[in-house]
Amino acid sequence: MSNIKAVVKLMIPAGAATPAPPVGSALGPHGVNMMDFCKQFNAKTA
């Protein structure tokens, strides 16, 4: 059984993710912690 609940596709410039829209409005309804996502995304793409 898979834990995947949704697939969200975003185009975000490397190292530039912020919790503001469009990231926040896309991930928030799915229960994703936006600050953790942004920190991890920016760290891995910077």
Whether 44 shows a pLDDT value over 90: the answer reads yes
**Residue 29 DSSP one-character state:** G
Determine the topology of domain 1-46 in CATH: Ribosomal protein L11, N-terminal domain (3.30.1550)
Whether 1 shows a pLDDT value over 90: the answer reads no
The whole-number average pLDDT for the span 14-31 is 93
- pTM exceeds 0.85, yes or no: no
The whole-number average pLDDT for the span 36-41 is 96
| Contact yes or no for 34/28 (Cβ under 8 A) | yes
**Domain ranges across the chain:** 1-46
